[in-house]
């Protein structure tokens, strides 16, 4: 069984290596997507910050998501 940290690392790597280039390909104004997790609460909180050129940003909450669900949630936020 994988630890929470291993799962968080997999999601972080997915966002960095796969999702960010995909988002940049479909919207050239997207500058970055960053995975964050807060573990200092009674439950873990996972979210992705999508930043556009010019500095505006949006947050997609992805707590407990699979990689597919994570990608879908981000696409909903940027649509």
pLDDT in tens, 33-55: 999 999 887 888 999 999 999 99
pLDDT at 31: 96
Q: Which CATH class is domain 4-78?
A: alpha beta
Q: What is the pLDDT of residue 47?
A: 98
Q: Print the SS3 string covering 30-61.
A: EEEEEEEEECCCCCCEEEEEEEECCCCEEEEE
Assessment of whether the complete model's pTM goes beyond 0.75: yes
Residue 23: which of 53, 65, 61 has the closest Cα? 53
Percent of the chain with pLDDT over 70: 100
Q: Where are the domains of the chain?
A: 4-78
pLDDT of residue 30: 96
Query: In the prediction, which pLDDT does 7 show?
Result: 94
């Amino acid at each position: 069984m994988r630890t929470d940290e291993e799962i968080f690392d997999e999601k972080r790597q997915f966002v960095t290596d796969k999702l960010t280039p995909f988002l940049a390909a479909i919207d050239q104004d997207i500058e970055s997507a960053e995975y964050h997790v807060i573990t200092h609460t009674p439950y873990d909180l996972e979210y992705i910050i999508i930043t556009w050129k010019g500095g505006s940003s949006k947050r997609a909450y992805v707590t407990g998501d699979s990689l597919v669900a994570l990608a879908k949630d981000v696409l909903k936020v940027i649509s």
